[in-house]
Structure 1
Amino acid sequence: MQTRALGPFTVSAIGLGCMNICHAYGPPVPDAQAERLLLAALDDGVTHFDTAALYGFGASETTVGRVLSAHRSRFTLASKCGMQGVDVKGDGQLVRVIDGRPATLRATCEAALKRLRTDVIDLYYLHRWDKQVPIEESVGALGDLVRAGKIRAVGLSEVSAATLRKAHAEHPIAAVQTEYSLWTRNPEIAVLEACREIGAAFVAFSPTGRGFLAGDLDPAAFDAKDIRRSMPRFAAPHWAANQRLLPAYRAIAAEAGCTPAQLSLAWVLHKAPHIHALPGTANIEHLRENNRAADVVLSADLMQRLDALINPRTVSGSRYSDQANREVDTEVFAD
């Protein structure tokens, strides 16, 4: 596996997002399956594992800690704060809350360290910018955690270039994590270049388009709690329009000698050397398939054809619901 710089760390160019084992795309997988997946990733050369307090309301961090803490020296550990489950009504039911207050971030970090069974988190992201709290205050609190030895580097997720620069002026930002794939190009507006200018890595989550670019999806078969059910691109009439992009896309994958999933990941890695691909899966075969994408070489002609085929003008529908769009800070393309 090729490696790339992730802030002060050198990691595999393709990491593993640890959301899928317990959150967002269906019910949690059995503990034994999650353990096999994480250990298989480590054995297959993955050295960048990414989780969050939000995923399974702590379940992902707990699993990562239980399975990988014995191998802590072999990988770079990333997690996130600022969005987590909170018992708002006091009835034991957790709801997702965005909270970037310094005291909350410190408490979330302490809880994460326990769940992850580690003394320090290598890269700690602000999962969402809490727009009720100046970004400088939230990032300043994360800077305090660096100085306290609780974390080693600070990251941001789903922020604009302007917010990134404000944050970086308060404390160095090592990485920005935002959705990026052929069918989600928002980072190309300004954030990719801002990351390059300040020397931050860019971590592309959902690089396979939440599975759209990886295989045959049927939104009607999604689990009742699958977050894609709320995403316009997977609903009528957008879904039918987007499916029309796939035959030509699959033909390009065959021409490149790789699978559609590998093509999506290779495209991300070919866009710039400071970009990392962070797919997620609960399937070991998919994991290994994804990792082989680091070996795929795409010609300039193929890259241009992919860019022309799937882009903001040809993809139908917003990537998020109206509520989710309000919660992020990323730039958007004009209609």
Structure 2
Amino acid sequence: MAVATSVPRMKLGSQGLKVSTQGLGCMGMSAFYGQPKPKPDMITLIRHVVESGVTFLDTSDIYGPFTNEVLLGKVQLISFGLLFPHIFADGMTPAVRGDPAYVRACCEASLKRLDIDCIDLYYQHRVDTSVPIEVTMGELKKLVEEGKIKYIGMSEASASTIKRAHAVHPITAVQLEWSLWTRDIEEDIVPTCRELGIGIVAYSPLGRGFFSSGPKFVANLEEGDMRKHVARFQGENLEHNARVLERITEKATRKGCTPSQLALAWVHHQGSDVCPIPGTTKIEYFNQNIAALSVKLTPEDMAELESLAAAGAFKGERYPETYVTYKDSETPPLNSWKGE
């Protein structure tokens, strides 16, 4: 197994933001992966993460909802902790809104829950397909000018939407699912980000636990865990994907690391503009993830992994049918907007 290493910094995007080269996804502490985890344990974990040199923490107002932001606020994160509040519907109903009034209301509410004055990186979590992206970005730009956020990001946006948004105000980072088993962004979205100088944040780089725990963990998922409804974890898809994982595991053994460390190393080797944010709720697994930074892959290693996990090598959709990702979404033209 690879050993732990110090966490260097990287420049994320071209607007001046610097972060640790690996972050921490905080969603599973509070939502979507079964019952919320004990708060004292999560506070201990977060403090260990920050003390280890990781400054890039990913949260959202929908995680809970709201409870994950409150959790991070209790830890009193240092100013360069990276946070991911997102724009979603009123109350407890998960939907997407990008109108100016709601963008502002969400930002101000997140600032209060996090107990901070400024959010370093504020993403639009999903694109509102009923509101021109220029309108949403216009309000985010105002929040930057007012000092309430420093940098703007997007998540799961199409290449054309990213270009339109970037024309209003520079986008610092785009967050997308990118891993050995999710590679559809490589054709147009990654090149678009690189053309515009936008950093890439890779979420679920461990295949939602598949590369770290293998297929057997699926049988023990708690009620309320959204992964129970993901096609990749079901039936013949799971059997097929397990066979692909066996070959990746053999490769990891030859490299002297775990399959999850190999999967993370593959993401790191995609370029100096890419920052993965694997999530975990255990210090042991966090330490293992950080140790992936010491796994060095040669061009031959990368070519072998490209062969083992080519686009389409894994079977099944990456989200349940009831989850809307707004992948490749488009928004109406600016001149169609009739709102305030």
Write the distance in 1 (CA, Å) between the matches of 2:293 and 2:53.
Answer: 11
Contact 2:154–2:174 (8 Å) recurs in 1 = yes
Aligned to 1:126: 124
Larger RCO: 1 or 2 (CA < 8 Å, sep 6+): 2
Aligned to 1:41: 49
RMSD: 1.5
Match among 6, 10, 17 for residue 25 of structure 2? 17
Residue 85 of structure 2 corresponds to residue 80 of structure 1: yes
Match among 197, 200, 224 for residue 198 of structure 2? 200
SS of the equivalent of 1:163 reads helix
Match among 8, 13, 20 for residue 2 of structure 1? 8
Contact 1:187–1:330 (8 Å) recurs in 2 = no
Write the distance in 2 (CA, Å) between the matches of 1:275 and 1:174.
Answer: 12
What letter is aligned with 1:32? P
Contact 1:184–1:311 (8 Å) recurs in 2 = no
Aligned to 2:274: 275
Contact 1:205–1:279 (8 Å) recurs in 2 = yes
- CA 1:307–1:294 in structure 2 vs 1: closer, same or farther (change >3 Å)? same
Residue 231 of structure 2 corresponds to residue 232 of structure 1: yes
Q: How does 1:243-282 map to 2 (within 5 A)?
A: 243-282=242-281
Q: How does 1:109-188 map to 2 (within 5 A)?
A: 109-188=107-186
SS of the equivalent of 1:77 reads coil
Aligned to 1:91: none
Aligned to 1:90: none
After superposition, give the CA deviation of every residue in 1:235-254 in whole Å (9 maximum; x if it has no partner).
12211111111211111111
Match among 93, 104, 107 for residue 105 of structure 2? 107
What letter is aligned with 1:140? G
What letter is aligned with 1:307? E
Q: How does 1:89-100 map to 2 (within 5 A)?
A: 94-100=92-98
Write the distance in 2 (CA, Å) between the matches of 1:187 and 1:30.
Answer: 35
Shift of 1:327: 3.0
Shift of 1:95: 2.2
Aligned to 2:75: 67
Contact 2:157–2:326 (8 Å) recurs in 1 = no
Contact 1:53–1:81 (8 Å) recurs in 2 = yes
After superposition, give the CA deviation of every residue in 1:150-173 in whole Å (9 maximum; x if it has no partner).
000100000111110010011110
Contact 1:145–1:151 (8 Å) recurs in 2 = yes
What letter is aligned with 2:54? V
Shift of 1:130: 0.7
Contact 2:126–2:325 (8 Å) recurs in 1 = no
Contact 2:155–2:176 (8 Å) recurs in 1 = yes
After superposition, give the CA deviation of every residue in 1:120-155 in whole Å (9 maximum; x if it has no partner).
000000000010111111111111110111000100
SS of the equivalent of 2:76 reads helix
SS of the equivalent of 1:46 reads coil
Shift of 1:326: 6.0
After superposition, give the CA deviation of every residue in 1:4-45 in whole Å (9 maximum; x if it has no partner).
112322111110111111111111111100101100101111
Aligned to 2:285: 286
Contact 1:18–1:280 (8 Å) recurs in 2 = yes
Write the distance in 1 (CA, Å) between the matches of 2:176 and 2:218.
Answer: 23
Aligned to 1:29: 37
What letter is aligned with 1:48? F
Q: Structure 1: 5+ residue runs without aligned partners?
A: 88-93
Write the distance in 2 (CA, Å) between the matches of 1:254 and 1:298.
Answer: 13
After superposition, give the CA deviation of every residue in 1:76-117 in whole Å (9 maximum; x if it has no partner).
322232225x33xxxxxx221211111111000001000111
Contact 1:215–1:260 (8 Å) recurs in 2 = no
SS of the equivalent of 2:72 reads helix
Write the distance in 1 (CA, Å) between the matches of 2:243 and 2:301.
Answer: 19
SS of the equivalent of 1:152 reads strand
Compute the TM-score of the two structures, normalised by the length of structure 2: 0.91
Compute the TM-score of the two structures, normalised by the length of structure 1: 0.92
Aligned to 2:307: 308
Q: Flag the structure with higher strand content.
A: 1
Contact 2:127–2:329 (8 Å) recurs in 1 = no
Write the distance in 1 (CA, Å) between the matches of 2:158 and 2:129.
Answer: 12
What letter is aligned with 1:281? T
Q: How many residues align?
A: 321
